[in-house]
């Protein structure tokens, strides 16, 4: 069994688990693109071959030129990293044990919310 994303006008509207022959039969219509549950940021988490940069989710876009699923842009200031097709903030999130941060788009900075 494999995972497939229904892509309509470049946007993922549904993700299902099915056999390739069922998708090929047209039973569920057209516009299905295979996705890998184990792929994130262009890396297969189990050491296999990555597929389309990221596992597809509803609301993701599918870029046929990049052959990649791209998550929705979380903030206007964030930029797309081509190698991973993941969004990156203008400044990296601080890493301090026991502290949690949230992005503040108004100040373009990370706020500690502990």
pLDDT in tens, 56-97: 999 999 999 999 999 999 999 999 999 999 999 999 999 999
Q: What is the pLDDT of residues 26-59, one digit of tens each?
A: 999 999 999 999 999 999 999 999 999 999 999 9
Return the beta strands (E) in the chain as ranges: 2-8, 11-18, 32-35, 39-40, 43-44, 61-63, 68-70, 79-81, 86-88, 101-104, 109-112
Q: How many CB atoms sit inside 10 A of residue 36's CB?
A: 21
The answer on 42 and 13 residing in a single domain is: yes
Range 84-112 burial, b when 16+ CB lie within 10 A, else e: bbbbebeeeeeeeeeeeeebeeeeeebee
The answer on 15 and 66 residing in a single domain is: yes
Confidence of residue 4 (pLDDT cuts 50, 70, 90): very high
User: What CA dihedral angle connects 68, 72, 74 and 80, to 10 degrees?
Assistant: 20
The answer on 80 and 48 residing in a single domain is: no
Average pLDDT (103-108) is 98
Q: How far apart are the first and last CA of the chain?
A: 43
Phi-psi region of 111 (alpha: psi -120 to 50; beta: other; left: phi over 0): beta
Average pLDDT (96-109) is 96
Question: Could you tell me the two tokens for 44?
Answer: 């297969």
How many domains does the chain fold into?
A: 2
The answer on 84 and 57 residing in a single domain is: no
Q: Determine contact, residues 74/90, Cβ cutoff 8 Å.
A: no
User: What pLDDT score was predicted for residue 62?
Assistant: 98
For residue 84, give its domain range: 74-114
């Amino acid at each position: 069994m494999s995972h497939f994303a229904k892509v309509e006008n470049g946007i993922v509207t549904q993700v299902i688990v099915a056999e390739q022959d069922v998708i090929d039969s047209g039973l569920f219509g057209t516009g299905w693109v295979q996705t890998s549950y184990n792929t994130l940021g262009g890396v297969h988490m189990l050491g296999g071959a990555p597929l389309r940069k990221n596992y597809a989710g509803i609301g993701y876009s599918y870029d046929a030129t990049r052959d990649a699923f791209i998550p929705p842009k979380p903030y206007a200031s964030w930029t797309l990293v081509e190698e991973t097709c993941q969004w990156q903030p203008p400044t990296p999130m601080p890493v301090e044990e026991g502290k949690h941060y949230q992005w503040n788009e108004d100040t373009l900075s990370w706020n500690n919310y502990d």
